[in-house]
Amino acid sequence: MTTFIMTGRYSAEALKQISSVRTTKASKIIQECGGKLVAAYATMGKRDLLAIVEFPGVSEAIKASVALNKALGIAFSTVPAITIEDFDKLVGGKA
């Protein structure tokens, strides 16, 4: 599984529908797309939400991102992520 960071912004209409039911629906959509919600956070600033999710690949992440937008009115930006340790192994030189 690949880790992805999803940041979301509520539409004006989506703000009116904030609820724990919608949070459960979002988790279900992620699962239906082959993923797993690892953690989710409400944030302040340019983005309203941050989710750490795992998917088998990019196709599943894209499918979930679009499905979440359609179902919930939340526009997501989705990017792959790796741990710093893995990043260092990939691109770090010897010290």
The tens digit of pLDDT for each residue in 12-52 reads 888 888 888 888 999 999 999 999 999 999 998 899 999 99
End-to-end Cα spacing for the chain: 30
Look up the pTM and report it.
0.85
Q: Domain boundaries in the chain?
A: 2-91
CA–CA distance, 19 with 24 (Å, rounded to integer) = 9
3 state DSSP class of 17: coil
pLDDT, mean of residues 60-65: 95
Fold of the CATH domain 2-91: Alpha-Beta Plaits (3.30.70)
Q: Name 49's Cβ contacts closer than 8 Å, sequence gap at least 6.
A: 6, 7, 8, 9, 10, 40, 41, 42, 43, 74, 76
